[in-house]
Structure 1
Amino acid sequence: MKRITDERLILVNLKNFRIAYICQTVGLIAFLIYVGVTSGSRAVTESPIFFVLIVTNTLHAFLQMRVTADVEATEKKRKKPRPYYVFILISLVVGVLMGMISWFIDRQHPSFAWISGTIFFICFLGSFSVMYYLKKKRMDDDDAEE
């Protein structure tokens, strides 16, 4: 089998993958909604399909960050990136807010609020750190070229 070298065919192939991924995601969500309606929300979160959906969408989001960083870098040139502590503060605010929301929803389990707030903080800080690293690396590469 020969490797595809025509750029138009590569783009068509990538669009086909995107359409298949969207159809698969919509199908999984529809199935999980059906399970939620028939068996309850607890059955949805215990389903392995829910785990697969969460992992694949998280992976897709992290892989998409590189493309987003490159597009932002070419569209608008920012003189200086925001300081890293700003991203830490934003992540902390999101973690605290989600922890407070969890605490107001379920006051019998305050440890759940701490856990959910910490998880949100780590997730936001992780994604912000990856974006910061990609933007800083891109800016350093642009400075080295000049």
Structure 2
Amino acid sequence: MKKIKDERLKLQNLQNIRILFLFENIAIIGILGYDLVTKGMDGMTANPLWYVFILTGVISAYLSMGISVDHESSKKSPKKGLVISVIVSAIIAIVFGGLITFTGDISTGILVGGIVFVSFLVPSIYIYFLRTKRQN
């Protein structure tokens, strides 16, 4: 198979992949929706397609971050953005953890707060590394 060199064909190929990705996601959402209606939330999340859908969303979001950092026009300070993100992540994690401790026990609140903090921290660090790589 030859490598495509024509830019128009490359663009058409990317558009075809985008349409296939959209169709695949609609099919997965349809199957998961059917499982939700027939088996409930537990049945839907037990389906292996649930994991495929979640992983696809996460990978798509991380790939989009790389494009959005390259598209930024202003020279933002990566360190300042990271510090702001860490502070906001900590505040959100403390709020979630505090709300959970009101309804449950302290260990569950700390666990949920920690998970929320790490969930916000990982993309922030990834953006930081993309911005520092772009500046060099």
Give me the TM-score of the superposition, normalised by structure 2: 0.85
| Paired residue type of 1:5 | K
What displacement does 1:81 show? 3.8
Partner residue, 2:129: 133
Partner residue, 2:116: 120
CA 1:54–1:79 in structure 2 vs 1: closer, same or farther (change >3 Å)?
closer
Name the SS of the counterpart of 1:4 in structure 2.
Answer: coil
| Paired residue type of 2:132 | K
What displacement does 1:121 show? 1.3
Partner residue, 1:88: 86
What displacement does 1:112 show? 4.3
Q: Which runs of 5+ in 1 are unaligned?
A: 142-146
Q: 2:67 aligned with 1:48, yes or no? A: no
Distance 1:9 1:103 in 2: 56
Name the SS of the counterpart of 1:86 in structure 2.
Answer: helix
Q: 2:17 aligned with 1:10, yes or no? A: no
CA 1:32–1:101 in structure 2 vs 1: closer, same or farther (change >3 Å)?
farther
CA 1:47–1:130 in structure 2 vs 1: closer, same or farther (change >3 Å)?
same
Distance 2:57 2:108 in 1: 24
Number of residue-to-residue matches in the alignment: 135
What displacement does 1:94 show? 2.5
Name the SS of the counterpart of 2:25 in structure 1.
Answer: helix
Distance 1:112 1:47 in 2: 26
Structure 1, residues 21-65: CA drift from partner, whole Å, max 9, x if none?
A: 111111111211111111111111121111111111111111221
| Paired residue type of 2:75 | R
Q: Which runs of 5+ in 2 are unaligned?
A: none
What displacement does 1:20 show? 0.8
Name the SS of the counterpart of 1:25 in structure 2.
Answer: helix
Percent identical residues: 33
